[in-house]
Every structure is written in structure tokens, then in C-alpha cells.
Amino acid sequence: MLKCRVIPVLTFNGFALVKTKGFGSNARMVGNAVQAAKVYNSRNVDELVFLDIYASDKNKKMNLQMARLIINECYMPVTLGGGIKTLKDIEDLLAIGADKVVLKNKIIEAPEFINEASDVYGNQCITLAIDAVKKEDGQYYLYNRLDREILLFEFLTKINDYNFGEIILTSVNNDGMMDGFDIELVQQVEKITNVPIVVSGGAGEPSHFKELFSKTNIEAVAAASIFHFTRYTPRDLKLAIQSVGRPVRLIERDYIPKN
Amino acid sequence: MDIEVRYCSNCLFPETKPDLHFTDEGLCSACIAAESKDKGIDWSQREKDFHTIIDSFRLKNDEIGYDCLIPVSGGKDSTYQAYFMKEICGMNPLCVCFETTKVTELGQRNLDNISKMGIDVIHFKKNHNAYRAMVKEGFIRVGDEMWPNHIGIFTIPINIATKFKIPLIIWGENPQQEYGGPLESIEKNKLTRRWLEEFGGLLGNRIQDMIGVDGLTAKELTPYFYPSDEELEATGITSIFLGHYFFWDARKQLEVVKKHGFEVKEDGPVEGTYTNYENLDEEMHGLHDYLKFVKYGFGRATDHACIDIRNKRLTRNEGLELVKKYDGKYPHLSINAFVEYSGMSKEEIDAILDSYTNPVLFKMNDDGIFAKDTEGNLVRNFEIK
Amino acid sequence: MTIAIVKYGMGNVASVQKVLKKLGYTSIITDDHTAIKQANLILLPGVGSFKKGMENLHNSGLVELLTEEVLMNKKPFIGICLGMQLVATHGNEPERIEGLGWIDGEVVKIESPKGLRVPHLGWNTITTTNSDELYTSSNHKDYYFIHSYHFKAKNPEEVTFTVKYDGVMVAALQKDNMYVMQFHPEKSQEAGLGLLKKIIDQYA
């Protein structure tokens, strides 16, 4: 049976690990990306996502030396993203060992790039980042730096015709707030696409995961703040998911107390 | 390829420092905290608040027991805390020392001095093998050989406090206040459980992650597990920062404790900085500070210069010169000590150091090796301004 | 012992080499015919479409070379993901294409009855009915899968591991000197490294 995945996310500002709240520009400096990668690898996490979140803004590419250092520490799948605009960008990342790449800003202006990429590299390498922001009118929009007002579900329905392997669905409102996931958003998106979805934004404690996995059919979840700032490890969250009857991958170790 | 690193306009903290924030004017959160230390805070009110709090925990004169617990290291700060609670506040404290990795002779003397000040001290001598296994793993996995020390100094005193039923715990400075942190944390006057994982320097690693390392069992790691929320509640554990209630001035406090038997290093500054009164207790701290340097581009000399700048003992330019001269030098002495302690070879240690060295901040040659100057120091890709 | 990791433009050779290095084996990433002939074990990784995979192999003249080395000379061979699918008689991505034809079978698209997501992406448990220690040590362990097409084997005795997703799918096959797997052992941490080691050590 396919296991539910718990995936730590590392967000990078070009030279160090940072953490945002609500995708704000005043990101909190967290520290060293390599050390985070080592910790996660030692925990046998299911996957790791590493994103350069300012690459597009600064019109730069992901620092390949840094990415290589991170991948060297990981013996599980690694997804890389940030500033991808051309096929060569994807090739460079795959060449240093990335398993999947994330496309975001490019697909708004040029969604056909998705198929260009998947035709060459296979659709399983291509992940789309869909950032959802709920505005005062109660509607969901696609968060974008082009200042365009794009209704989220319409966009998703259109994009779904293209050939890609996975979606990372992030709630911008809940990002970094550690107050729970946007369940309504997830339930809506599940109706639109049949591609694997990784839910992100809002994880703060194990009960949030129990809620997410019992109220939706999601099979993968991503988190960051909860791992940087609280006592909870990926294992704690997997046990929470397991407690609501969903299968997870647990690597056995010596007795671990309930604390 | 060179990179622009932004520095605080007042002190010398770089933007690479974890948890540091800048205002629109370019002032860092540590300087903002210092400013409010000088102006925005009503210290006399805070002092009143402090006495109100501690008096509510104070035992009666004819009662047997400890009024408070003070975690100590033998360093100047905790010695001051012990002196303050005993002499100034008239309390009967229990001092608990979770000793550092490799105690120096000077550090041991300063620790013994606390009992000579008329105070009971529990000197927790840790399981050496378990600790050493965590030192090595901490070094390899998170680039911090002091990892078990961070968790030990926060957890063991809490464990002893719950066992001895001493609810009041007196910590010293709020690191977020003195060294800069997210603005919300600066006002925190209490050290809660969450503080440990968020600010305690655990670098994302947790004690459960150490189970199985070198065959370590959970039992062998007993003292490093924080008490449960229920135990904490039952004892009523209340941790407060002295630095929240009193203006923290390290140099002034040093002069006070020197009068009560505290010794400083007489033969020159400590490795990695220009001061001779910090980090006297730990022989290998130079490695710890160097790791900070390779990861973030600044070392302990920067920390000390910034404090002195904020306390108006140095101008920014004077601090800049000291930092350029002392910051980030390869710590030969500490590395040698670490070779002996850990059993790792110098090559292995250097390879780990390289894995944590930020390739954006430091020059890397085309063959993927970091460039070094004639003394073996890294070459910066940025300019300290 | 030297392992030749076949370079044919179909991704992720770096990860495979990293893992082999961690296990202590020497490996080279190459499409050079001489180097492949001289290697003791050949590893064919790969991610992407069947059609492109076969095209690239043809363009480098590797189809004849590999068939000679692996099928005729019985050189030890490991195929991963696309590298496993290509040994089939034919594939269907995006249209019917002839494969290397070393193991009888066809590569078909994963059906997606209501609720099943495609691609098959994530950790899943593999099971074996084979009693060989090589296989029992990985029985009921989780490995990482990421694929939209799967191998339908003609001869059940060549199937070593199965996985449950679109019904029961083939997870790995073995025929003589050929060990091929749909999942990514180089991405499956201890379980993956352990299995690779067991296979390669037979020949080391």
C-alpha cells in the first residue's frame, strides 16, 4: 500500500535557510541548509524539498554548489526549485542529482513549458508549485509576483490538461503561522486533479495532521516551521497520521519515550 | 564571485545571523533591544516586578529548602547570578552545573569558587561515553560539537528542579535580547519549553534523534529528556531571565564577581576573539565558534565587538578593526584538543568543517576545495562593512 | 571491480554513483564502448519516456553493445526504473516502441480507476515469494517509486518482487545475470542500499 509522505521543506534565500510567514518578504533567518539536510537524512525522512524562494525575484538561478552540497547528504529523493525558466535549468539540476524540479512563475506566463519539459525529462520529474491566497472576498487566487488576479480553481483546471507528476499546494495565508492547514482549500483542489498533491502551509502540531488526513484524501504533506521551532520530529507527525488510520513509513529504532 | 552582505548600521551583525531582523533604517534587532534597554524600559518598575515574583516563591525563614535554582557553568555570568540571588536577594539558591565538554583548569577553579561563596552546588558529572557519542554526532550531523551541551544546560537543571521541587529557576541574560532575535522573542521574560527548541541552539536536531547513535539507548539519554508537561505543571516550574528585570552589563558584572574570587585568563585573549573573560570554562569552544564562522561568516569576535559597541565602549570603526583582525581564524588549539577528545583525525574533522562551509560566502577553487591563506584561514567572498 | 553506469541522457546518474561510492564500489559514468566492455557490472538507470530512452540508446550504438555484453556474455546487469522498463519486449510511451527484448513483457500505462493517483509516487511495500536470502531480506520493506508506466511480465517465475497499487504490479524481476527494479534503490536509504549491496556483492 502506498504510504503517506511527510516532507520537510527548506527555503533558501540565496545563501542561507530562511522561514517566511504568509510569504512575507521579512523572512526569518534560520541558518545553515546543509546541517538541516543532514538532520533530515539521519531521520530517514520520505523526501526533501529545497527551494530558492528569491531566485525569480532576483532573476537568478539556484546556486548549484549549494544544491550539490545538500544533495550529497541525502539518500532519499530531493526536489529542487527556484528560478527555473529554461530546459537547461532543469537539466543542470537533474545533472547534480535532483529527482524532481519545481516550476512556478514560468507556468503562469507559459504553461506550455510544462509539456516541453515533461516530453524531454518525463512527467515524473516535473512538479508544479501552486500557491493559494484567500482574499477578503473569500475567494482563492493564485499568488503571483506579476500582480495578476488569477482565480485559483480556474487556473488549476486549465493547468490540469498539461503533463506533470505532482503538485505542491501551499496556503499562503497559513504559511509559517503554525495554526493548522487550510482544509477547505485542499478539499476543493482534490476535486480538480488526480495528480499526487503535497499539502503545505500551517503545520504546528500533530493534531493538525490528524485533521488533515482524516478530512481529506491527501497522501502527502510538507512542513517547515514545525521542524525548525518545536519539539516535534517527522516521526511524531507520522504517528499522528497513523492514528487516524492512514499508512505511513516508519523505520524502527530503539524504544522512544512518549515525550 | 563576490557577494554583498548587509550589516547593521550600528553594530557589526551581518544578515546571515540566524533570527536577526533589520528595521527599514538598517538597524538590527539586537541594537533595537539595546536601545530599549537604555531608553524604553522602566528598570525600576522591572526591579519591583522581579522582587514581587521571587518573593512569592521565597520560603519562610524557618523552612528547610531552596528558594530557587540557578543553572551555573562556572562562567562569569552564572557566577554573578549566584552572587546576586544569595547576597543581594538574600535567598538560599541551589546551583546546578552541567559541566561543559572539556573543562579547563581555570573553569574548574571558578566553579569551585561558587561553593566558596556559601552556596550548595550540584555538579552533574555526565555519562562521559554517552556525551562523547553525542559530541561527535553533533559535530558531524549539525556542525556543532557543543550540541549535547546546549540541550544539557537547559534540560538538566529543569529535571533537577522538578525532582527537588524547586519551582523558581533563575537564568541570566535573554540571548535574544543581547544577541538579537525575532522581535517577539525579545520581550519574553520566561523560558518555556518551546524556547528550548526554537532558540536553544538545537539546530533542528532533537534528543530523540540521538537514540541509536553509537548504540545509545533512550535510558542512557535520560537526563537530556525534558520533563513532561504534566510534571512541569505539578511543580509549577517558572523560569525567568535576570536580564529581563535588570540592565545586563557583562563587564560591570565581571568586576563584581572578580571581587568574590572569580579569575580571568591572565595570559592573553581567548582563541577566536579579543577578550580574556569569556568562554573560560570550555577548552574546545574555539571549534564551536569557528563552525559559526564557516556557516554564517562571522565569529565570536563579532559577537563581543557588537556588545561593546552597544555598550558604547567601542565605536563601530574600532569594532570593525578588531573583527577584521580576530574574527574567523582557524582554531588550531581547539582542533588539536578535539582530535584528542573525539578520536577523529584532523583530516576527518577538516572534511566535516568543509561540508558546513558556505560556498557562497567563502572562496571555493575550481576543483571544489576552499581557498585558504598562508595561516590556513578561509578567504571571504564578502567585505565586512 | 568497476561498475559502468550507462550514460544515455536519461537522468540521474549522479545519485547512483554517489550511492555506489558510499557502498565502497568504484564506478564510472560512461557511454564509451570500450569502458563498458571492460566493466565488471553494468548499471542502467533512467527516468523519462520509453521512446526517448530507446532512441538515445540507438543513437549511441548502445543497443547492440549492451545486448552483446549482457544477453550474450552474461555480464551482471542492474536496471533501475526506466532502465528496467527498457529491457522489455516493447513499451507504449507515448506509442508502441520496441525495447531491448531481454525479458519478455510489455510496459503499459498505469490505469487510474477512481481515486488512484498517477504517477505512482512515493514509498510502497514490496513483497516476494522467493525464498532466497537475497530477496527475503527486502521482503515487506518500503521502497521509493515514481513512475506512470509499469512492466507486465510474460513469465511469472521471472518476477521477484511485487507491489500493490494498480492491482498487483511488478516491482522487480530477475533473469539469470539481470536484476531489474521499478523502484529506486538509490533513493530508498538503508533499504535500498542494502539491496544493492546484496546484489553487487555476489559478483564483487
What residues of C are in contact with residue A120 (Cβ under 8 Å)? 48, 52
Length of chain A measured in residues: 259
Neighbours of C64 (CB within 10 A): 11
Which of B208, B213, B232, B382 is the mutation pick for testing A, counting most A CBs within 10 A? B208
What total number of domains does chain A contain?
A: 1
Structural domain of C179 = 2-201
| Domains of chain B and CATH, by start | 41-250 (3.40.50)
Chains C and A touch (3+ CB pairs under 8 A): yes
* Chain B residues within an 8 Å CB radius of A228: 198, 204
What is the sign, positive or negative, of the torsion defined by CA atoms of A164, A166, A167, A168?
Answer: negative
Residue C190 annotated to the active site: no
pLDDT in tens, B146-201: 899 888 988 999 999 999 999 999 998 876 655 555 655 555 556 677 777 777 77
Is A76's CB within 8 Å of C188's CB? yes
Residue A195 and residue C117: Cβ atoms within 8 Å?
A: yes
Residue A89 makes CB contacts below 8 A (sequence gap 6+) with A61, A83, A101
> How far apart are alpha carbons B199 and C59 in whole angstroms?
57
Q: A19-35 pLDDT, tens per residue?
A: 999 888 888 888 888 88
Q: Are residues C55 and C91 in contact, defined by beta-carbon separation less than 8 angstroms?
A: no
In chain A, which residues have their Cβ closer than 8 Å to the Cβ of B193? 231
Report the CATH number that the domain containing residue A39 is assigned in CATH: 3.20.20.70
**H-only helix segments in chain C:** 13-22, 33-38, 50-59, 62-66, 82-85, 133-136, 189-201
Residue A256 has its nearest CB partner, among B21, B218, B361, at B218
Q: In chain C, whose CA is at the least distance from the CA of A190?
A: C115
CA dist list (Å): C108 to A162, C104, C159, C166 = 20, 13, 16, 11
**What is the greatest pairwise CA distance in chain A?**
52
Distance from CA of A92 to the nearest CA of C (A): 10
B356 contact A CB<8A: yes
Q: Which of C69, C140, C184, C190 is catalytic?
A: C184
B360 touches chain A (CB under 8 A): yes
- What residue has cell string 559577537? B303
CATH number of the domain enclosing C13: 3.40.50.880
Contact across the interface for C49 and A119, Cβ inside 8 Å? yes
A251 vs A248: CA distance, rounded Å: 10
CB contact under 8 A, C164 and A251: no
Catalytic residue from among C69, C81, C106, C120 = C81
Per residue in C47-77, pLDDT (tens digit) is 888 988 999 999 999 999 999 999 999 999 9
Please tell me the total count of domains within chain C. Answer: 1
Asked, for residue A95, whether it belongs to a domain, the answer is: yes
- Give the cell for residue B84: 546576586
> What is the tens place of the pLDDT at every residue in C86-137?
999 999 887 899 999 999 999 999 887 767 888 899 999 999 999 989 999 9
Q: Which ranges constitute the DSSP H helices of B259-371? A: 285-296, 300-310, 316-326, 332-342, 346-356
Contact between chains at B225 and A259 (C-beta distance less than 8 A): yes
- Amino acid letter for position B355: S
Q: Find residues 201-240 of chain A whose CB sits inside 8 Å of chain B.
A: 227-231, 233, 235
Find the residue in B nearest to A259 (Cα): B228
The contact set of A with C (CB < 8 A) is: 1-5, 41, 44, 46, 71-72, 75-77, 94-97, 99-100, 119-125, 165-166, 194-196, 217, 219-220, 249, 251
Q: Which residues on chain A are in Cβ contact (under 8 Å) with C19?
A: 75
Cross-chain residue pair C11–A195, CB shorter than 8 Å: no
- pLDDT higher than threshold 50 for residue A259: no
Q: Is A40 exposed, middle or buried (0-12, 13-18, 19+ CB in 10 A)?
A: buried
B209–A39 CB contact, under 8 Å: yes
Q: C58 an active-site residue?
A: no
| Number of cross-chain residue pairs from A and C with Cβ atoms under 8 Å apart | 100
**Among this protein's residues, is C81 annotated catalytic?**
yes
Confirm whether A256 is domain-assigned. Answer: no
Domain extent for A154? 5-243
Q: What is the pLDDT along chain B (385 residues), one digit of tens a residue?
A: 578 889 999 999 998 888 888 888 899 988 888 887 778 788 898 899 999 999 999 999 889 999 999 999 888 889 999 999 999 999 999 999 988 777 788 888 998 999 999 999 999 989 999 999 999 999 999 899 989 988 898 899 999 999 999 999 999 887 665 555 565 555 555 667 777 777 777 888 888 888 888 888 999 999 999 998 888 888 988 888 898 888 888 888 989 999 999 988 776 666 666 766 666 666 677 898 899 999 999 998 898 899 889 888 899 999 999 998 888 889 998 899 899 999 999 999 999 999 899 888 898 887 778 888 888 888 888 888 8
From chain A, pick out residues whose CB is under 8 angstroms from the CB of C127. none
Name A78's bridge partners. A48
